[in-house]
Chain A
Amino acid sequence: GAGVSQSPSNKVTEKGKDVELRCDPISGHTALYWYRQSLGQGLEFLIYFQGNSAPDKSGLPSDRFSAERTGGSVSTLTIQRTQQEDSAVYLCASSTRTTMVASGGSYEQYFGPGTRLTVT
């Protein structure tokens, strides 16, 4: 079946411009995550959506970053007034998780191919 898709695959933008990155999770997955990976670094958690609960935004690096998830499906990550340090690969993941880990629920995240953002 179709996996997680992201668009665009590559985005080059000038410093100070706003960008929107899109994520289409696997159909039926209630949980959606955004991460970013800078060159040579590990994955950095940004934000997490689970069903209708308020998103966990604790990983967002600044108030220039925001994310929405409409209708419990597609998500958009917006970066305003981009800076060069925002250059990274932005990864989206989704999972079926609906139960807590302590109850034995599995926790496989399915990742998209990412969007490579370059701020010049």
Chain B
Amino acid sequence: DAKTTQPTSMDCAEGRAANLPCNHSTISGNEYVYWYRQIHSQGPQYIIHGLKNNETNEMASLIITEDRKSSTLILPHATLRDTAVYYCIVITAKTSYDKVIFGPGTSLSVIP
């Protein structure tokens, strides 16, 4: 299973873009990169996912390098409510079912 590595913590000024990196150097060709976040005492929330093209939705943008060995989640205008732990994960497909492996994530603090 592909593993991911992320920085343990990051700070970002309110209103600025938050760029959260993730390394997944052992990712294989049919594995997707997914991002979730978990605000304190709540369940994890889906943010965005991608295979090889950059993706954007109402929450964030996902930039995946051409070799797919790393990606960056971008929150374009961070607010205090974006303070959370952000998880970068890789989906492993096996026969008819998948297993999701979460690492410790990046604790993002948005500073006023």
Identify the A interface with B (CB < 8 A). 4, 31, 33, 35, 41-45, 48, 50, 53, 56, 58-59, 91, 93, 97, 100-102, 106-114
Contacts and interface: CB of A to CB of B under 8 A. Distances in A.
A48 B102 contact: no
19 contacts: A35-B102, A42-B85, A42-B87, A42-B104, A43-B44, A45-B102, A48-B98, A48-B99, A53-B96, A56-B97, A56-B99, A59-B99, A91-B43, A100-B93, A101-B32, A107-B32, A109-B36, A109-B46, A114-B43
Contacts of A42: 85, 87, 102-105
A91 to B, nearest CB: 6
A112 B43 contact: yes
Interface of B: 30-32, 34, 36, 38, 42-46, 49, 85, 87, 91, 93, 96-105
A91 B97 CA distance: 19
B98 to A, nearest CB: 7
Contact of B49 (A44, A56, A97, A107): A107
A102 B93 contact: yes
A3 B47 CA distance: 17
Contacts of B104: 41-42
A50 B95 CA distance: 11
A89 B105 CA distance: 16
A107 B34 contact: yes
Given A53-B97, A102-B30, A44 B102 contact: yes
Contacts of A53: 96-97
B44 A91 contact: yes
A50 B31 contact: no
Given A50-B96, A100-B96, A101-B93, A111 B102 contact: no
A58 B98 CA distance: 12
A69 to B, nearest CB: 13
A45 B99 contact: yes
A31 B103 CA distance: 21
Nearest to A55: B97
Given A91-B44, A93-B43, A108-B49, 12 more contacts: A41-B104, A42-B102, A43-B38, A43-B87, A43-B102, A45-B100, A50-B96, A53-B97, A91-B43, A101-B31, A102-B30, A112-B43
